[in-house]
Amino acid sequence: MKSIEPKVYLIGTPSVVPNEIAAYLAEIGASNAWLDRVTSEEATDGEQLVEFSARLCYRSFEAGLNQNVTKVREDSAEYLANILNQRHGSVLEHAYYVFILHGVSRVLTHEWVRHRVGISISQESMRYVRLDELPFWVPEWARNDPELMTEIARKLDADERFMAFLNEHLGVNDSAAGFAHKKAMTSFVRRFCPMGVGTSMVWGANLRALRHVIELRADAAAEEEARLVGRLVYEAVRRHAPNLFADYVVTPDAFTVSTEKRKV
């Protein structure tokens, strides 16, 4: 048994193309004032995309572009807060974030792959990737129970010995064995791995879907590991786009995240 902790890496974030935005603004007769302001305010690309998309809907980059709009908000944080208050969720879909969920169990991935709209998934294949040991996460409350940990270690050690027997008996360790045989036998061996075995997954979501998953999986009623990973995902993306999560409330000791503006 190899003791592990779930980790989250934010590996992909939205990117704007300022020259193209400037060209569009010129096309509709707007100045670069909005673009210059969000750049000077150091709004992240994700925040800029969401704000730009919302302002395009109303042509509200500046007063006078739309004759119905005589006054516009000129503070990005205030503008994005209003988007969340109004639950204008469609504009959140333009900002896309990609994560690695590493050291997470198949218990967790089986739950997270249920979310599909606005989401993309690539998961480590145990049909191809052979496990010689069992990476395993155990929650803190279990780690504080010596008798329980002794039995967990005994069970997983027995599983590892059985997997080692299978790999040897089925010729997976044979350097002369062909790839097709190794793949077939590795696929067979994986059937005996516990669902708690650690794995990795690339998981991407647009901001609307991302908020939905965080609100479900980092909720107090969620499964323990999912709650922990949901909190880690939230922390990673909020560092990149704080104004788009300003409505969230965090309960540190329980790893929960909540908001009154659900289903934005």
Residue 59 bears catalytic tag? no
Closest CA to 94 of 8, 235, 210, 201: 210
CB 206 within 8 A of CB 118: yes
Q: Indicate which residue of 55, 208, 211, 217 is catalytic.
A: 217
Kindly list the catalytic residues: 217
